[in-house]
Amino acid sequence: MLATLVVVFVLASFVGVEIISKVPQTLHTPLMSGTNAISGITVVGALVVAGMVDSPVAQWLGFVALVLAMINVVGGFLVTDRMLQMFRREKRPAVADPAAAPGSTGGGRL
Amino acid sequence: MKATLITYAYLLAAALFIIGIKRMNSPATARRGNQVAAVGMLIAILATLVSQRILSPGMIVGGLVIGTALGWLLASRIQMTQMPEMVAALNGLGGGASVLVAWAEVARYTSAQAEGLAGAGFARHGLEPLNATTVVTILLSVLIGAVTFSGSFVAFGKLNGRISGNPISFPGMRLLSALLALATVAAVAYPLLMLRDSAYHAEHLSLATAVIAATGLLLGVLLVIPIGGADMPVVVSLLNSYSGLAAAATGFVLENYALIVSGALVGASGIILSKIMCEAMNRSLLNVLIGGFGGGTAEAGPKSAAGLSVRTIAPDDAAVLLSYADNVVVVPGYGLAVAQAQHAIRELADLLAARGANVRYAIHPVAGRMPGHMNVLLAEANVPYERLLEMDEINEDFSRTDVVLVIGANDVVNPAARTDTASPIYGMPILNVDHARSVIVLKRSMAAGYSGVENELFYHPRTQMLFGDAKKTIERLVAEVKAL
């Protein structure tokens, strides 16, 4: 079992390196809060142990873990969404607000 | 059968995490990517709820509801300037959850052992007899989780100013760290040695867990306090990585693929971001972690600046200079975030654009207190992301730029990094603002930057200093440009 788990871990790490290297700098903060929400997957572990009535201690520890992991998950995904909805493209001049008139029509890069 | 089904559900969740992160490769698809990942999480949670015999629904529902409400509250209240703190705190919570889950496993072994000798209790609760793998994975999960938890909250304190941003150290700190590390190793070895005879010994594992939770918490504090405020981008990235590794370690404890895959992804993410941050400062990760860099103001008497004087510029003159420029580049730094000046600068940029200028923003990788911090602030102020350029994209263009407006940035524009081999920041990649036709540096005072190094840009013949609070000064510039 352990060997299989190690295999999965190592391969997943390679996938992680591969896809994360392609994220542009401008999105690094949302990337971080988004991956942070993903690390809240511990919530699954918390659910498993919080559901065990055989040990009240385990159950309470699981309960607290569940609350912490849920804050991590919900807070992480929501705040990432809040940030990402602010990233917008350049408005085209015809529909742009008056302030963004002639000069900005160049559309960015020189 | 049921076990197979849940494994597939976890596989689906992990696949959605990967697709979600992949979509973050462009601002246009990133939001959808985050939503895809969130759906993956929902699937993982639902599959777990369905597959487990939930014998205490009240507790489960209560935990889910409380956590969701608090998370939602946090995410909707937080200001964009506080994002680094938010991420640090969330990292810490993730680490804390890992510690507690591993500890709960230990509690199961303890109570199972109390019920029946020779493993009868274990069998009744579906627990395997304790073996070396279980012991090591549980303790590793506790250790990484505890370091992440306390380290993140120290970083949180440093970021919001409750703890001094200066590097903190005391005599014997290294020795203390070494002793704690030794104690941790001993605490792992102890239950392993005890496993040799035939009894089950959950009590030894329990003791080791408590010891490692304590040493882990202390090590986390000692890891972060010697690191100065401006190195926080590295620390936050690294703790992000740890929070992933903590989840993966918990996955090894519970033999759960979802935790292992997600943990590995996040672990990789944090490592890559830490590496990018270190490269952007031309320092090794070890050098950052050893700490003690910066925070020094002792070198305020500059050798290089001797005999040189700075030129200051009044807001009305600066407004004239800016309003007749064709190409303007804004270089934001942490000072912009502190002064909350992102909306004011956007207003100024709009006015200049209306007068025909091409206004762009040059973002150094370590500007701000976390990777991408400036981009989020400027996005909040409605600056389109095409206008935010990375260092390599804009550095060639400075020689064709009429006016560079440096706002609250210092070390990242210091030409000494290119030329002065004796400087502590020598070799750090910088924004070549000194190549521009003229430079306006907006700054509160002549104080040195984080590195404690005098900035020769300020004494450059084409540089003019505009002193004052970033936000108020930019608002003043806005008024002056409007009046022209």
Continuous segment of H or E residues that includes residue B456: none
The answer to whether residue A74 is domain-embedded is: yes
pLDDT > 90 in chain B, percent: 58
| Residue B25 phi, psi dihedral angles, 5° rounding | -80, 0
Which residues in chain A are closer than 8 Å to B268, comparing Cβ atoms? 13-17, 20
Q: Is B308 helix (H, G, I), strand (E, B) or coil?
A: coil
Nearest to A58 among B108, B354, B375 (CB): B108
Say yes or no to pLDDT of B232 above 90. Answer: no
Nearest to B96 among A32, A44, A68 (CB): A68
B244: exposed, middle or buried (Cβ count in 10 Å: 0-12, 13-18, 19+): buried
The answer to whether residue A79 is domain-embedded is: yes
The Cα B396–Cα B398 span in angstroms is 6
Whether B153 contacts B91, CB under 8 Å: no
Q: What is the pLDDT of residue A93?
A: 55
CB contact under 8 A, B30 and A84: yes
Continuous segment of H or E residues that includes residue B26: none
Whether B113 contacts B202, CB under 8 Å: yes
Structure tokens at B412: 């990242």
The answer to whether residue A67 is domain-embedded is: yes
What's the one-letter identity of residue B43?
I
- Distance from the Cα of A104 to chain B's closest Cα (Å) equals 6
- Distance from the Cα of B380 to chain A's closest Cα (Å) equals 6
Residues 41..100 of A with a Cβ closer than 8 Å to B: which? 41-55, 57-59, 61-91, 98-100
Q: What is the pLDDT of residue B477?
A: 94
Higher pLDDT, A99 or B469: B469
Q: What is the pLDDT of residue B54?
A: 63
| Residue A49 phi, psi dihedral angles, 5° rounding | -75, -30
The Cα B93–Cα B112 span in angstroms is 28
Which residues in chain A are closer than 8 Å to B66, comparing Cβ atoms? 67, 70
CB contact under 8 A, B251 and A5: yes
The answer to whether residue A70 is domain-embedded is: yes
What DSSP designation does B76 have? H
Q: Is B465 helix (H, G, I), strand (E, B) or coil?
A: strand
Which residues in chain A are closer than 8 Å to B250, comparing Cβ atoms? 42, 45
Which residues in chain A are closer than 8 Å to B108, comparing Cβ atoms? 49, 52, 54-55, 58
The answer to whether residue A73 is domain-embedded is: yes
CB contact under 8 A, A49 and B18: no
Lowest mean per-residue pLDDT among A40-49, B69-78, B190-199, B464-473: B190-199
Whether B220 contacts B149, CB under 8 Å: yes
What DSSP designation does B129 have? P
Mean pLDDT to the nearest integer, B64-88: 94
**Strand order in B463-467's β-sheet?**
B388-390, B358-363, B327-332, B403-407, B438-443, B463-467
Regions of chain A with pLDDT less than 50: 94-110
Nearest to A47 among B49, B91, B257 (CB): B49
Q: What is the pLDDT of residue B114?
A: 77
pLDDT, tens digit (0-9, with 9 covering 90-100), for B310-364: 899 999 999 999 999 999 999 999 889 888 999 999 999 999 999 999 999 999 9
CB contact under 8 A, A82 and B75: yes
- CA-based nearest residue in chain A for residue B240: A36
CB contact under 8 A, A19 and B93: no
Structure tokens at A30: 């949302």
Q: Quickly list DSSP for B133-169.
A: HHHHHHHHHHHHHHHHHHHHHHHHHHHHTSS-SS---
Nearest-5° angle of CA B307, CA B313, CA B314?
A: 145
CB contact under 8 A, B66 and A75: no
The Cα A17–Cα B272 span in angstroms is 7
What's the one-letter identity of residue B258?
A
pLDDT band with cut points at 50, 70 and 90 for residue B402: very high
CB contact under 8 A, A22 and B20: no
What is the model's pTM?
Answer: 0.88
The answer to whether residue A110 is domain-embedded is: no
Q: What is the pLDDT of residue B174?
A: 86
Longest dimension (CA), chain B: 89
Structure tokens at B68: 């969701």
Q: Cβ atoms within 10 A of the Cβ of B312, count?
A: 12
Q: Which of B404, B408, B428 is nearest to B368 (CA)?
A: B408
- Distance from the Cα of A78 to chain B's closest Cα (Å) equals 6
Say yes or no to pLDDT of B267 above 90. Answer: yes
Nearest-5° angle of CA B11, CA B264, CA A63?
A: 75
- CA-based nearest residue in chain A for residue B31: A84
The answer to whether residue A93 is domain-embedded is: no
CB contact under 8 A, A24 and B27: yes
pLDDT, tens digit (0-9, with 9 covering 90-100), for B188-227: 998 888 876 656 678 889 999 999 999 999 999 999 998 8
Say yes or no to pLDDT of B302 above 50. Answer: no
Q: Is B127 helix (H, G, I), strand (E, B) or coil?
A: coil
Q: Is B35 helix (H, G, I), strand (E, B) or coil?
A: helix
Q: For this structure, is B411 an active site residue?
A: yes
The Cα B5–Cα B281 span in angstroms is 48
The Cα B441–Cα B63 span in angstroms is 51
CATH fold group of domain B299-483: Rossmann fold (3.40.50)
The Cα A33–Cα B373 span in angstroms is 12
CB contact under 8 A, A12 and B261: yes
Structure tokens at B297: 């103001």
Inter-CA distances, B472 with A56, B16, B87, B315, B449, Å:
57, 45, 29, 11, 21
Whether B249 contacts B100, CB under 8 Å: no
Q: Which residues contact B394 (CB under 8 A, 6 or more apart)?
A: B329, B360, B362, B431
Q: Does A17 touch chain B (CB under 8 A)?
A: yes
Q: What is the pLDDT of residue B484?
A: 84
Q: Does A103 touch chain B (CB under 8 A)?
A: yes
Nearest to A80 among B34, B54, B248 (CB): B34
The per-residue b/e assignment along A30-62, b for 16 or more CB within 10 angstroms, e otherwise, is bbbbbbbbbbbbbbbbbbbbbbbebbeebbbbb
B231, B316, B392, B411: the active-site residue: B411
CB contact under 8 A, A53 and B261: no
Q: Which of B410, B448, B459 is nearest to B431 (CA)?
A: B410
Q: Which of A10, A14, A57, A68 should be substituted to probe chain B, the one whose Cβ sees the most B Cβ atoms within 10 Å?
A: A68
A68: exposed, middle or buried (Cβ count in 10 Å: 0-12, 13-18, 19+): buried
Which residues in chain A are closer than 8 Å to B388, comparing Cβ atoms? 26
Structure tokens at B173: 């700190």
In total, how many domains does chain A have? 1
- CA-based nearest residue in chain A for residue B386: A108
CB contact under 8 A, A28 and B62: no
Domain span including residue A53: 42-86
Whether A77 contacts A37, CB under 8 Å: yes
Q: Which of A21, A35, A52, A97 should be substituted to probe chain B, the one whose Cβ sees the most B Cβ atoms within 10 Å?
A: A35
Q: Which of B372, B15, B26, B25 is nearest to A15 (CA)?
A: B15
pLDDT, tens digit (0-9, with 9 covering 90-100), for B5-53: 888 999 999 999 999 999 999 999 999 999 999 999 999 999 998 887 6
Q: What is the pLDDT of residue B121?
A: 66
Instruction: Break chain B into its structural domains and give their ranges.
Output: 1-77, 82-290, 299-483
Higher pLDDT, B293 or B198: B293
What DSSP designation does B406 have? E
Higher pLDDT, B294 or B68: B68
Which residues in chain A are closer than 8 Å to B70, comparing Cβ atoms? 67, 70-71, 74-75
Mean pLDDT to the nearest integer, B450-460: 83
pLDDT, tens digit (0-9, with 9 covering 90-100), for B101-159: 999 989 888 888 777 655 566 666 677 777 888 899 999 999 999 999 999 999 999 98
- Distance from the Cα of B273 to chain A's closest Cα (Å) equals 8
The answer to whether residue A20 is domain-embedded is: no
Q: Cα A103 to chain center, whole Å? A: 36
Q: What is the pLDDT of residue B131?
A: 82
